[in-house]
Amino acid sequence: MNEKAGDIARSLAEVDRLIHEPARLMIMTILSAVESADFIYLQRETGLSKGNLSSHLSRLEEANYVKIEKTYRGKIPLTLCSLTTSGQLAFQNYREKIMRFMENV
């Protein structure tokens, strides 16, 4: 029984820590539910400050989980974010691991 509990605990250590961070998990969850969203929508939905959101998005972009397109709508800057294919796979993988863990707890 202890061995099983150990396995379960160890399985949690395998989750993607980049996604596991709460703010980034919020961003990934929102982006996985939509096709794309702009910076203002993400900021409003997550409740993060501009700087905080920007830094988390940069981390996700570096990992190639999120694609960020900077364009303009008229004269207004528009930052459009969407999940990449590897981001979708990583998030799916993360969800499966967490769900398996929760089922065994």
Partner 1 sequence: MNALDKAKQRSFQYWFEDGLNEMGIGCLLILLGFYFYLGAVLPQNGILRTILDISLLLVIPGGAWLVSRGVKYFKEKITYPRTGYVALAQKRRAPLWLAGGISGLAGAFFAAIVIQGNLLQWIPALTGIIFCLVFVFIAARVNLLRFFILASISLAIGIAISMGDFGLSEGTCAVYFSLGLVVLVSGACNLVKYLRQTPAVKDPSHE
Residues in contact with partner 1 by the rule CB under 8 A: 29-30, 32-45, 50, 54, 73-74, 76-80, 95
Decide whether 1 or 33 has the Cβ nearer to partner 1: 33
d(CA 29, CA 24): 8
Radius of gyration for the chain, computed over Cα atoms and rounded to the nearest angstrom = 16
- C-alpha 20/C-alpha 95 separation (Å) is 10
Minimum CB–partner distance for residue 20 and partner 1 (Å): 14
Pick 5 or 92: Cβ nearer partner 1: 92
CB of 4 or CB of 72, closer to partner 1 = 72
The token pair that represents 75 in the structure block: 């004269």
Q: How far is the CB of 1 from partner 1 (least distance, A)?
A: 29
97 in Cβ contact with 15 (< 8 Å)? yes
The amino acid present at 7, given as its one-letter code, is D
> Helix (H, G, I), strand (E, B), or coil: what is residue 20?
helix
Name which of 41 and 101 has its Cβ closer to partner 1.
Answer: 41
